A and B are shown apart, each in its own frame.
Chain A
Amino acid sequence: MRRLRRRLVPYGLLGPGAIWLLLFFAVPMYFMGEMALRSGSLDTGGFTFSWEWANFSDALSGSDEQIVRSFVYAGLATVIALAIAYPLAYAIALRAGRWKLLLLFAVVAPFFTTYLIRTIAWKTILADASPAVDVLQFLQLVPQDGRVLATGGAVVAGLTYNFLPFMILPIYASLERMDVRLIEAAKDLYASSTKAFLKVTLPISAPGIVAGILLTFIPAVGDYVNALLLGGTGQSMVGNVIQSLYLQQRDYPEAAALSFVMMLAILAVVVVYLRVAGTGAFIGDEEEPA
């Protein structure tokens, strides 16, 4: 009896999560996969299931440029977000003292406003004749007759801005828990500041970095709002293609097929990434260069 119970308890604990995954992941995946294999059109009697594998090739043909662009933009946004988030999280966690709560609040506060409003606000900030763009032109970062809005740069900036807190908070959480005496110990053992950072701080914050990168990259790849509002005619991402297929062309099977392919592609990237980052690079093996 007791043995049986011991064997069942883990499954019981898994229960709520498993049910959640089943209802909100497996079931929708099933319907999406099933829709991706239908054919027909909304105006002539609707979509019927017919093992229409051609939807996948149709959806992929012609949108390769948008798929690549999505990964490039999301990758750039993730790298920039990491570059901004790490020093900031470090400063808040280890140097802010009594200002810690206030600074954390400052990170989160803009996100009390909705995503759309914040993105639209950037349209005003980055308008062609705005002071922000004047400064960039003065610094020669933007050509005199150039612009920021309706360029790839604006889309990447928008993605970076919108997902930044998802990078900052996990890194902050991992640094906050760190025992600072470990750094002192490293220095006692004649480690330079750089070396102490590389050997102690960075490995300890690695889980935060990994989580932050995933939380930023995954939603950024599928995002379409930033490209729609801040991009121009040459900046469409795969999210824009799916939106157009679903809402404008009303080709639900192709939209589902493309969504399915994107999910698999992201899954593949994430699995490879976790294989590499989850075990190797950040643990701080001895053969790290000094």
Chain B
Amino acid sequence: MSNTSDNPRAVRLRSALAMLVALVAALAIGACGDDDTVGGGNGGGEAEVAKAGPVRGELTISNWPAYMDTGKENTVAEFEDATGVEVDYVEDVNDNAEFFGKLRPQLERGQSGGRSIFVVTDWMAKQMYDLGYLQELDHDDLTTVFDNILPSLESPSFDPERKFSVPWQSGMTGIMVNEELAPDIRSVNDLFDPKYKGKVTMLSEMRDTVPLVMKADGVDPADADKQDWLDAIEKLREAAESGQIRRFTGNDYNQDMTNENVVAAIGWSGDTSIIENPDVSWRMPAEGCILWSDNMVIPNGAPNTAAALAWMNFVYRPRVQADIAEYVQYVTPVGGVDDVLRQRDPELADNQLIFPDEQFTADCSTQPDPPGSEEDQQEVTEAFQDMITGQG
């Protein structure tokens, strides 16, 4: 130990220490820069307005899977024929938060990754707008949209003037039930029945699952406070830990329903059309459902906004929308579609899942955000996500 400089172990230790010092120094230099804040968007500035103009060129649309009629003569092809625009229709939205997480670095730099339209749910559209990631829409460029939009969707609380969003489809979150295997499930509370242990899934979308659990316990999501959210999450945690709830899923609960791995799930109203099991149907929970819309939005940096606006107008033609509604079987946001469909298939025109009347949705709640400040919302989100990953 007397002559440390020649000891190979000491040399190695020294070089390791030197590297550590270099790393710390580099971190410190990084800390000194002043414009090094990551995230935060550019919410302070004036939002751009999407420009109209000649309709041509290419258009990229990001949408959820199974949200568009298929085949050679589908709506995308029809739009291409009618306008000469070349459409790249991408089904790369699987989860609002995940899609946002993936695109945020680009959005922050005012880029849209080549996309001109995203389809995201109400709360996500609002967050993107608040961060300054979206362009505003001039209603004069969207006459077909605002001539035909259902009155109930004209001024939602998250965007009262429809300044940045146009509904793509609306829907209801309730219970997906296998009528043969679980005929007696009528309320979200029945999903907690030990009889169905391990045969039940719920959605990883917090704003669907938690409010439904609150409703089942007699709490109105519209007046719920933070503690109500945390209590519902605690109820879910117990059910998850006991194995009552098999999984928390996104769209993939469809596969579990098809294969009869689960007999009931919290699910979205339109999905009966993609679940290949005749026994499965969507049920309105006794205590009501959660209502939401997915919206078309135009991000900052979107190329060819003229074609994007033309696309929005195009899908709001009742005849075009009828093709989409017939295939996806969600709640259509366009008026007059029921008349078109009645001529093709009267049964569809009377389908409460596509054209719900006021009585059918009387007990339903609009999809809520957790209440309170940013910190409160963050706390609820964290509690929910920790529950899903099983963290203590």
Contacts and interface: CB of A to CB of B under 8 A. Distances in A.
Interface in A30-67: 30, 33-35, 37-38, 40-51, 61-66
B331 interface: no
B37 A48 contact: yes
Interface string A225-254: 000010111101000110011111111100
Contacts of A49: 30-31, 36
Interface string A241-276: 100111111111000000000000000000000000
Contact of A232 (B23, B30, B247): B247
B72 to A, nearest CB: 25
B167 to A, nearest CB: 25
Interface residues of A, number: 51
Interface in B30-67: 30-31, 36-41
Interface in B237-288: 240-241, 243, 245-248, 252, 255, 259-261
A79 interface: no
Given A41-B374, A46-B39, A147-B198, A234 B243 contact: yes
Contact of A47 (B26, B37, B104, B198): B37
A37 B23 CA distance: 13
Nearest to B202: A233
B390 interface: yes
Nearest to A146: B198
Contact of B40 (A46, A120, A232): A46
B82 interface: no
A233 B248 contact: yes
A17 B84 CA distance: 49
A46 B37 contact: yes
B98 interface: yes
Interface in B206-243: 240-241, 243
A45 B44 CA distance: 10
A47 B259 contact: no
A30 B390 CA distance: 30
A223 interface: no
Contact of A241 (B36, B241, B391): B391
B23 A33 contact: yes
Interface of A: 30, 33-35, 37-38, 40-51, 61-66, 120, 123-124, 127-130, 147, 149-150, 229, 231-234, 236, 240-241, 244-252
